[in-house]
Chains A and B, each alone.
Chain A
Amino acid sequence: MFRGPKKNVTNTNEQQNKKEPDKVPIPPSQTEFLSKLKETIHSPADLVVKYISETVTITFLDFLIDGKTLNEQILPTLEKVINTSPKVIKESLLIAEVDLVAELNQGILEMLIGAVLIHVEGHSELVIAKISSYQSRGLSAPENESQVIGSQVGFNENIATNISLIRRYITNPNLCNEKFTVGKDTRTSLSVLYIDGIAAEEHVNTVRQRISDLDILDLLDSAVLSELIDDNSISMFPQFLLTERPDRFCDGLLSGKVGIVVNGSSMAILCPYSFIEFFQSREDQNLRWPIATFIRLLRFSAILISIFFTPIYVAALTFHYEVIPQPLLVPLSESRAIVPFPPIVEALVLELIIELLREAGARLPTKVGQTIGIVGGIVLGTAAVQAGITSNILIIIIALCALSSFTTPNYLMGNVIRILRFPVIILAGFWGFLGIMLAFCFIMIHLLRQSSLGAPYMAPIYPPRWKDWSDSFVRLPLPLIRRQSVNSRETHTIQNTNDSFAKEEKVIE
């Protein structure tokens, strides 16, 4: 069921594990080397073998290497040096990354990443020239986390590009980059990034340990990794942030978080992340503080509206008709009068329709997706009311709930908020306000029990960390904000003190 590390590793498994990095010496003979090489990698169609001279052979995998470098640098050099040892070849090649390898499997691994293997007859060493070229998408604007103000660049699928993007934002020798390879079948490379001195040592250690403990076959996306290494894989709440924005990622690193970039995935992971932080957007920093505060408060009220508005409607109409205000009584009951179902069925049907529309819109191409929205919104909505399946007041409520759930800046968290509504509606339909209270308590208990890398999930609220409140529900003016949250270590003195409020006037004479 879970792809996580298996607890009971049998002895045979362990032996197999040990057997894998089998050291195979490189045969000095050319033919023997080639046959052994082809046997190991099952002589694929894209394997290119080229005999430079009688003694020197080069092999590489097509499309993985940079052809220009091969033609302009390697081939002419090899023409010049005939009948020499690999050491001489290594020294004469004018390429940044050249290595000598005495073991076949390691050489093959390098070739699979994009290296040229140079074999010299009579020597049991290989020259490896790393000239890999990577076909990747160009940098484009982040589509899922778009912003009005702020940088318009997103990560792409190449780890090298992503790290270079990050290094462009943070020019700091303390920015540490630790490389890991995960997955027996895919050998996906990933980098753990953090800023030494800002990130807490224990967080970095935990990430290191969790990644190296991973015993999985494949890893294709960072979302999978984040689910595998977070604190509670069964919970529906994400505990690590997935972001495609380099500025948000760097903002996280600078406030003491640990980042993970996975090759082949355009989403980077940030951890530890608290519940409140999922509802903050990078853009909040770019707006003036009263506006940012207003928008944040709007978002937090949207969570409550999104989860509890429909259930309150269901509960009030099913059990608690006493609480309906008198002016609403007649319009509410008249709109409900022709509906043949109890409120819970009515609400669930409509919520399901909204979910279907959203799912259909997400799966279809963008242009068709918009049409689906219009068709669903107008045709289904109006027709359902006229046919007497739902009341029009419920349509308004459902639309409001759906709208509020889309204000969450994080896609994963937005999904949670939307799906969370269903059990609450069902409980409200069964037990009224009691059921809503039950659901609320259940959610609160669950959230309070969660942790992210061992740090409390509901951080500034519980345990109460008053100093962090300046940048949680509200965003105070920048000089008042503590840059690093309490969760992270604090070796830097905080430069932003209250003094920076007053800007000195420098008189230049």
Chain B
Amino acid sequence: MKKIKVLIVLLLSCLFIIGCANQRILERIGLVTLVGYDVAEENKVTATSVIRQINPELQSKVEVQSETESTSKGTRVKVDMKTSKKLAAGQMRVLLFGEDLAKKGIEEAIHTTMMNNEISTSIYLAVVKGSSKSLLEYPYKDVTDVGQHIYNLIDHNIKQQHTVSSTLHEVVRDNYSEVRNFALPILHKKGEFIEIDGVAFFSHGKMVGSLPAGDNFYILMMQDNFKESTLELVLDGESIDASKFQEKQLQIAVDSVKTKRSIKVVDPELNEFDLNIDFKCRLLEINSLVPINDPKLVEKMEKAVNQKIENEVSRILEYSQEINSDIYGFGEQYRAHVRGGKLTDQKWREKFREMKVNINVDVEIIRNGVFE
């Protein structure tokens, strides 16, 4: 009997807690799918939100609302005043930063986003050339939902390894690490289209430099392993030394690129690192005059590709050393392999700038295309 009484009390109390659950019924909220932050005057932030509104009578539409306030929550309240439904950020997929804001520092914005438990850590971050407001508010002819469009644009490019991966999780991980920095893709409005225009390098939450989209491949190769990718290369025509082919430049394309990158600390005293890149690929496109069935020629070509990649990699590495942004994880390697290194933020900054890296690229052309 006592047992039953306890049970009834428990059930009754459960009944009363029901009211405490905060309901957010899908069609009764406005779904924010994308937010762009820009710098406004007087230390304020302009937030531009892309909101998917569900309308029973009409086709559901996409609203773009923009407000300026000193905190992002403040802008949310202001935007709430303008929309018919309560806004919820749980379906947010992309977070954009205007170039000016990025240069001022986005550490705070990342921190608040991370602290919001509604927002998933798999959203993408990106920098916009110019202001994000103008990018979002432009009425694109062929794009109905700009939020979804940008998400898909970034998503498939990251999955295909065409640009640096910039999920909130990875960015926060790199940002909170003392010896590592992060990079974000740069979006740019070009006429009627939005395109990924390059990579923004960050150092301690501030954007310190950028490289064009053409360098994406090399940056990614230094950051991570490639599973499947395509590369177009321009080689020096003389280096091939084929009898029939006399032009100065030889354009080739390789695909099925598989790379393996490894960083090794050679000598912590001398601040010397090894960057080994194992590069395997298939030759896809080449001038028909080049006799690719000659093994010697393939060897020569491998050497030429090798030289080309080494040059590019060292150029990019030099640039990032110059702007002091370690997005490749040299610092992490150093800390992991050197005992008692006591690497601090400041210490690594100095070391990174002066470190010496031996770049070894090992190119291997496994197949030369598929012919019938």
Contacts and interface: CB of A to CB of B under 8 A. Distances in A.
B362 to A, nearest CB: 41
Contacts of B29: 321
Most chain A beta-carbon contacts within 10 A, residue among B22, B25, B56, B91: B25
A343 B25 contact: yes
A20 interface: no
A431 B18 contact: yes
Contact of A322 (B23, B55, B120): B120
User: Which of B26, B29, B52, B93 has most A Cβ within 10 Å?
Assistant: B26
Contacts of A342: 23, 25
B52 A319 contact: no
Contact of B90 (A318, A321, A330, A337): A321
Contact of A319 (B24, B54, B60, B93): B24
Given A333-B27, A342-B25, A322 B56 contact: no
Nearest to A430: B18
Given A333-B60, A337-B56, A430-B18, A326 B25 contact: no
A329 B52 contact: yes
Contacts of A318: 23-25
Contacts of A329: 31, 52, 91
A337 B55 contact: yes
Nearest to B20: A431
Given A322-B91, A322-B118, A326-B151, A430 B25 contact: no
B266 interface: no
B26 A321 contact: yes
A321 B60 contact: no
A332 interface: yes
B205 to A, nearest CB: 27
A321 B151 contact: no
A229 interface: no
Nearest to B18: A430
A330 B60 contact: yes
B148 A326 contact: yes
A336 B25 CA distance: 10
Interface string A253-278: 00000000000000000000000000
Given A326-B148, A430-B21, A321 B31 contact: yes
Contacts of B118: 322
Nearest to A330: B60
Nearest to A317: B26
Interface in A277-325: 316-319, 321-322, 324
B151 A336 contact: no
B290 interface: no
B26 A326 contact: no
A79 interface: no
Contacts of A326: 91, 93, 148, 151
A43 B46 CA distance: 101
Nearest to B23: A318
A322 B25 CA distance: 11
A334 B21 contact: no
B26 A332 contact: yes
B88 interface: yes
A238 interface: no
A334 B151 contact: no
A432 interface: yes
Contacts of B93: 326
A432 B24 CA distance: 10
B18, B23, B90 interface centre (most CB from chain A within 10 Å): B23
Grouping DSSP codes into helix (H, G, I), strand (E, B) and loop, the B interface class, with mixed when no group exceeds half, is: loop
Contacts of A41: none
A266 to B, nearest CB: 38
Contact of A334 (B23, B25, B60): B60
Given A321-B88, A326-B91, A336 B27 contact: yes
A431 B91 CA distance: 20
Contact count band on B: 20 to 34
A38 to B, nearest CB: 52
B54 A322 contact: no
A326 B147 CA distance: 11
A367 B56 CA distance: 41
A332 B91 CA distance: 14
Interface in B93-110: 93
Contacts of B120: 322
Nearest to A434: B21
Contacts of B21: 319, 430-432
Contacts of A330: 52, 60
Contact of B24 (A321, A333, A339): A321
Given A326-B93, A334-B54, A334-B60, A317 B25 contact: yes
Interface in B140-179: 148, 151
Contacts of A337: 27, 54-56, 60
A317 B88 CA distance: 13
Interface in A312-371: 316-319, 321-322, 324, 326, 329-330, 332-334, 336-339, 342-343
A346 to B, nearest CB: 10
Contacts of A333: 26-27, 31, 54, 60
A346 B372 CA distance: 60
A339 B26 CA distance: 12
Interface in B30-61: 31, 52, 54-56, 60
Contacts of B90: 321-322
Contacts of A338: 56
A318 B18 CA distance: 13
Contact of B23 (A316, A319, A324): A319
A339 B27 CA distance: 9
A336 B60 contact: no
B18 A336 contact: no
Interface in B51-74: 52, 54-56, 60
B152 to A, nearest CB: 9
A289 B292 CA distance: 54
B26 A336 contact: yes
A317 B90 CA distance: 13
A337 B23 CA distance: 16
Contacts of B54: 333-334, 336-337
A337 B84 CA distance: 14
Contacts of B56: 337-338
Contacts of B27: 333, 336-337, 339
Interface in A420-464: 430-432
A394 to B, nearest CB: 12
Contacts of A317: 25-26
A201 to B, nearest CB: 34
A324 B148 CA distance: 14
Interface in B1-36: 18, 21-27, 29, 31
Nearest to B29: A321
A336 B18 CA distance: 23
Nearest to A435: B21
B93 to A, nearest CB: 7
B113 to A, nearest CB: 14
A321 B90 CA distance: 7
Interface in A58-77: none
Contacts of A332: 26
A132 to B, nearest CB: 49
Question: What 10 pairs between A and B have smallest CB-CB spacing?
Answer: A322-B90, A337-B56, A336-B27, A333-B54, A430-B18, A338-B56, A333-B27, A317-B26, A337-B27, A321-B26
13 contacts: A318-B25, A319-B24, A321-B29, A321-B90, A324-B91, A326-B93, A329-B52, A330-B52, A332-B26, A333-B31, A337-B55, A430-B21, A431-B18
Given A326-B91, A329-B91, 19 more contacts: A317-B25, A317-B26, A318-B25, A319-B22, A321-B88, A322-B91, A322-B118, A324-B26, A324-B91, A326-B151, A330-B52, A332-B26, A334-B54, A334-B60, A342-B23, A430-B18, A430-B21, A431-B18, A431-B21
